[in-house]
Amino acid sequence: MLLIILLCIAGAFGILFLLPLKGARSFRYQPPVHRVHEADAVLSRRLLEPGTAAYNSYYQQNPQLRIADDRSRNSPGLLNEKAQYYDPGTFAAALANFQLIEFLGALTHGQGPVKDNQTETSQKKQIRTDPDRYARFIKKWLEGTGAHKVGFTPLHDYHLYSHKGRGKRIGEAIVKEHNHAIAITVGMNHRMMQSAPQGTSVMESSEQYLNSGIHALKLAAWIRELGYAATAHIDGNYEVICPLVAVDAGLGTIGRMGLLMTPDLGPRVRIAVVTTNMPLAVNKENSDRTTLHFCHHCKKCASVCPAAAIPDGPRANIDGVDRWKINSEKGYHFWTTSGTDCGRCISVCPYSHPDDSFHRLIRWAIKNNLLFRRLAIKLDDIFYGPRPAIKSLPSWSDIREEP
């Protein structure tokens, strides 16, 4: 009899926690209303050199940012050997990846004119102009060669920066030349991120900036071969804001820490984008609101952020939309003192756990049931700790001599 009662109680709880009660209606993702100037991004501002006309002009117009930015300028710097987490092997690997990314930056707009395959005389006229086929080919190709996910969206004005804020075209207005955008995510290694904010995190993020960039560059070159214009947007060479494109391409939403939250890897991805005038079938925007609801209650990233750069309150109305806004000055200052791009928030996020059967089941229940969503936050604290420990660097990454 007792067994039957216990089974009934367990069954009732099971039903209660697995019923499709989403309860996240008010957590709609809202795209931005205005375009932003790339010069206002902290990673563009760091390139302003004190004493130059560009520096003086920027801080005359934005005096409130100068003290915080100069504080970061006077810190050791990203990947600097005087930084807190300096580690020779992983720092050198990240520098090597960034050198390669900088070299590849020359290829984002292609070399030479786009192939003319659209004329009657072209040998390639037999190519079918079929948006579904093009999209399917791209998805199969890139996901079959290491990309995590590929999504397609119409290119919207708000995806684009208003002006270039760095590089040779600094100050130039960005004109919307294409009508489609393709977002490409690549996964970041779970173990490498577990040691964040130490050297493996910046090594891994540089690795995946490089990998996502290679996917975008080869795709843009392929599109040009077929006679359509295409631009690759890769690390250091963006005209678009990649997470905004990725959301509209159906790949996720933007959570508390301001990063793309994918359904299976959470924020543990890097993104590159290709914009083009190739006709493409597009994906539906990700309509899931449960991740934002989970973020509303979770706050784990905010509580572990070593820079206190992630807000721990509810979403606020910022520039006309409800969202969380990180304090990028505080975050970047931590980067310049630690020497890495941190990643502690990514490493502790409950959505970052490995994409295995167990965590897939948990994610399914989080998505489908309001009560389980609240319970899962507690369970994550019980299993992993409210402030999960930072794992030591993997032994293979240590190239220093024994003391």
User: What's the min distance (Å) between Cβ of 364 and ligand SF4?
Assistant: 16
- Residue placing its CB nearer to ligand SF4 in the complex, 300 or 367: 300
Nearer to ligand SF4, 148 or 166 (CB): 148
Cα–Cα dist 195/356, whole Å = 20
Q: Where are the beta strands (DSSP E) in 120-229?
A: 149-154, 180-187
- Residues 6 or more apart whose CB falls under 8 angstroms from that of 330 comprise 68, 307, 308, 309
Chain residues 108-127 in contact with ligand SF4, contact rule CB under 6 A: none
* Shortest Å distance, C-beta 210 to ligand SF4: 25
Q: Which of 135, 257, 278, 366 binds ligand SF4 (CB under 6 A)?
A: 257
Beta strands in 277-370 (DSSP E): 316-318, 321-323
Q: Does 351 bind ligand SF4 (CB under 6 A)?
A: yes
| Residue nearer to ligand SF4 on the CB measure, 79 or 326 | 326
| DSSP state letters, 328-384 | HHHHHHHHHHHSS---HHHHH-GGGS--SHHHHHHHHHHHHBHHHHHHHHHHHHHHH
Report how far residue 303's alpha carbon sits from residue 31's, in angstroms, rounded to the nearest whole number.
26
Min dist. Cβ of residue 39 to ligand SF4 (A): 27
Residue identified by tokens 């690759």 is 232
Determine the size of the site formed for ligand SF4 (CB under 6 A).
Answer: 12
Question: Taking CB under 6 A as the rule, does residue 202 contact ligand SF4?
Answer: no
Q: Which of 165, 238, 350, 393 binds ligand SF4 (CB under 6 A)?
A: 350
Please check whether residue 285 is in contact with residue 248, taking contact to mean a CB–CB distance below 8 angstroms: yes
Residues 264-323 that bind ligand SF4 (CB under 6 A): 294-295, 298-301
Query: Which residues in the 237-256 window bind ligand SF4 by CB under 6 A?
Result: 255-256
In this complex, which beta carbon is closest to ligand SF4, that of residue 210 or of residue 301?
301
Question: Among 46-54, 94-102, 345-353, 368-376, which window interacts with ligand SF4 (CB under 6 A)?
Answer: 345-353
Instruction: Tell the smallest beta-carbon distance from residue 310 to ligand SF4 (Å).
Output: 7
- Give the integer Cα–Cα distance in Å for 350 and 348: 6
Strands 321-323 and 316-318: antiparallel
Q: Are 90 and 397 in contact (CB under 8 A)?
A: yes
Q: Which two tokens stand for residue 317?
A: 């109305």
The reply on whether position 188 binds ligand SF4 by CB under 6 A is no
Angle at which helix 2-18 crosses helix 370-384, to 10 degrees, equals: 100
Residues at the contact surface with ligand SF4, assessed by CB under 6 A: 255-257, 294-295, 298-301, 349-351
